[in-house]
Structure 1
Amino acid sequence: MTTPNASASTSSTPLSNVSWLRSFMDRCKLEKNGSNFADWDAQLQLAAQGDDKLRYLTEASPTEPPNTRSAARQSYEDYQKESAAMKNVLIFAMEAELQRSAIKISTAHEIYMKLVNMFSRAPRVIQYEAASAFFDLNIKEGQKVSPHVLKLIEHVETLKSHKVEIPDELVIDRILHSLSKIKAYVQFRVNFNMQDKKVSLDELHKMLVQAERDMGLSVSTTKDVLNVNQKSKRTFKKSGKKGKKRSPNRNSAKTYEASTSKPKYSAPSGDKCHYCCGVGHWKRNCSKYLGDIKAGKVTPVGPPPSKDKGKEKQV
């Protein structure tokens, strides 16, 4: 369904059939505590003003004329018809707790003014909050630069609407300072100040977005880097853990002892035994010498025979 423009909108066109109102009701609901009233009101006024329906919210109902056939009577009836349609829009655009009290009110203007009195903040409070946010807001690691800059500009526009003017040069300095926690933007600020070029806020926003692309700064890239760092930390912790002590294995001990024991050498074929005068072995390996020791005929002299340690202990 196409949206009729302001000039084509007539009293015969029910307000509830206009597509922008349906879209508004679907995407924007006033919460029962009024915490989102400022954004809700801004969206409502923007939509109503675009279709020339804002007066049914801000202007009270005209007095009913006595003459039933006059032009004033027709204007009055048209207002009542459009106001009733706008009343339906307001009711559907709020949560159930607020709907119950709004149904009892006759006109859209009365409903709107009641909501303003209930949830709107004092201008001085809005001004203070906008100023505080403008001077305190700084970009965070991994945050995109475009929404950050636009948020600062939004605070400036809020201050301007309350007749607080901030020079563009001061706004630019504040934006550049809000990026100082990211090292990549420090060089951008240095180059920008060296050029001493006057730019508008929109041009600065465009330059920063382009710089973000050139430097490869993005939320996804930052997340990838953080994930890699976290994985490396977990790997380091796992590799640095001490393992449980295991009970010694007898087989492994024997293997170690065998591998570290001194090798046993046999006598060259030409060497002569000094005990039995045989050839091809030494005295310590001589079977006759070992048999005499076992029989008790000979007392061993020097280091014990290396071939049989168990027999040596028995001696």
Structure 2
Amino acid sequence: MLDVGCLMLATMTPELQKQHEDMVAYEMIQDLKEIYEGQALQERYETSKALFQCKMSEGSPVGAQVIKMMGYIQTLEKLGFALNDELSIDVFLQSTVEGNMKKGRSKSVLMVHEAKGKGKKVEKSKGIGKTKPKGKEALKPNEGVSKDGKCFHCGKPGHWKRNCPIYLEDVKKAKAFRASVSGTGHEKESS
């Protein structure tokens, strides 16, 4: 214990030697922890703050960013706050991605298509709001189909899929088929 105490005193600055010359090794360790632990916490806070706020500037090399962030991560390890590999990778990716996300938002484009047909005016009723058409009126196009519009089912212009005679016939046949299949299924279950 005396040898360890002498070795510790030999590595200290003259000011610290004067403070600890009458202490044994264990007491020196405890006193040094009290003195420097607060500084270590402050340094850990500052280093982690710098690491998590680190952002890669546009046009800067990636290698410089990696070296800078690895320095912060190694300092944190020395201070007893080691980050696992997955978190280190996530922190690095966050530092590079945020700038790209901001760039993407500023260059967003909104496209608006002007309608070729004239819309039907909706009347207001007693100041409550707009009235909505009900029943079959809700399914009809406002002012007919535009000249460029084609049916999505048959591909012919002049009507929409919901009004397509071929589509409506196919729907009727499918319903009749389902009814006949389900009807025969019930007969088989009861027999």
TM-score (norm 1): 0.24
